[in-house]
Structure 1
Amino acid sequence: MSLEKVKSYFAALGREQDVQEFNVSSATVELAAQALSVEPARIAKTLSFQSNTDGSCILVVAAGDAKVDNGKFKRHFGLKPKMLTPDEVTQLTGHAIGGVCPFANPGGVTTCLDISLKRFVTVFPACGSSNSAIELNCNELYQYARANEWIDVCKSWQPEE
């Protein structure tokens, strides 16, 4: 089970007790925000994209109110953004849709954090199931996600847009 893998990952970091599980679904930004009683933008959603390399993928973790900008994505990664199918997500990350997270992923997964998250003191990414999350600050998220870099590939989250 993906949640157990993530809990084990956080146990090794001394943070297993911080993984929250809910009696309700947190599979979407809106449901997660309701379960946590926070604004939807503070949900750190993990989006899964195909990469140029067979057997790998790109995870973009972004604020709940952000949308991927196709042009920015293409300029940054050198390829058109193509979301993985639900089966591909499970196969490549070990997490099912609704619980995809940047933790305890297999090799070949590139994880990037979008700058849309940086406006919050803490954010809430999923923990491998459709009813879990953990509260982390951006530095912790970067460290625990083993992120490759901070990127700017989203739109619709800045007030002036």
Structure 2
Amino acid sequence: MVGHEELPERSRVVQQHLLDAGLDVRVRELPASTRTAAEAAAALGCAVGAIASSLLFMADGEPLLVMTSGRHRVDVDLVAGQVGAGSVVMATAAQVREVTGQAIGGVAPVGHPAPVRTVVDRALREHATVWVAGGTPRTIVPLTVDQLVALTDARELAVASD
């Protein structure tokens, strides 16, 4: 783990947001990519379901960040019905960068230019600690689901029909 000042710029923004929220957690930089849930789980030695993948969608044209268990594929119709949207589609890479200021594979739940409406997969409750991206594909942060929900002002819902 590196010190706060040695983190990449985008991760320093995330770390500051965590500190400002009163959370005593640290962004960690790993030697290998954590771009996918499988890569992150392998690097951390945890279940893939404990990886909270950050996926940006457009719900009726408005950004919606879905923090999903790494073991799930988001069911866009299920999510659309629960958030009251006519359509939910995956954001483009350009939209992800514009809305979050971060690259796909490293999108943190916070540290964006403006707050993003967020939902959290209920399945993440199966894990005492979940791991979220820290602003780059090689940075990660441990949180509880309660911390994640409070930090993002998220609504918990089912995002996949297991």
Residue segments in structure 2 that go unaligned for 5+ positions in a row: 1-8
Aligned residues between the structures: 153
CA shift for structure 1 position 134? 1.1
When the two chains are superposed, the root-mean-square deviation of aligned CA atoms in Å is 1.7
Q: Which runs of 4+ in 1 moved over 3 A?
A: 13-17
CA shift for structure 1 position 30? 0.8
Name the residue aligned to 1:5: 13
Residue in structure 1 matching 2:147, options 127, 134, 140 = 140
Measured against aligned partners, the alpha-carbon deviations of 1:107-136 in whole angstroms (never above 9, x if no partner) come to 352011111111111110111110111111
TM-score, normalised to structure 1, is 0.86
Q: Give the distance between the partners of 1:35 and 1:130, measured in 2 at CA.
A: 12
Q: Give the distance between the partners of 2:115 and 2:42, measured in 1 at CA.
A: 33
Q: Percent identity?
A: 28
- Map residues 50-89 of structure 1 onto 2, 5 A cutoff: 50-53=58-61, 56-77=62-83, 78-89=85-96
Measured against aligned partners, the alpha-carbon deviations of 1:36-74 in whole angstroms (never above 9, x if no partner) come to 111111100011101335xx4000101110111233122
Name the residue aligned to 1:19: 27
Q: Is the 8 A contact 1:57 1:108 kept in 2?
A: no
Name the residue aligned to 2:3: none
1:98 to 2:79 alignment: no
Name the residue aligned to 2:39: 31
Residue segments in structure 1 that go unaligned for 5+ positions in a row: 157-161
C-alpha spacing 1:132/1:108, structure 2 compared with 1 (3 Å): closer
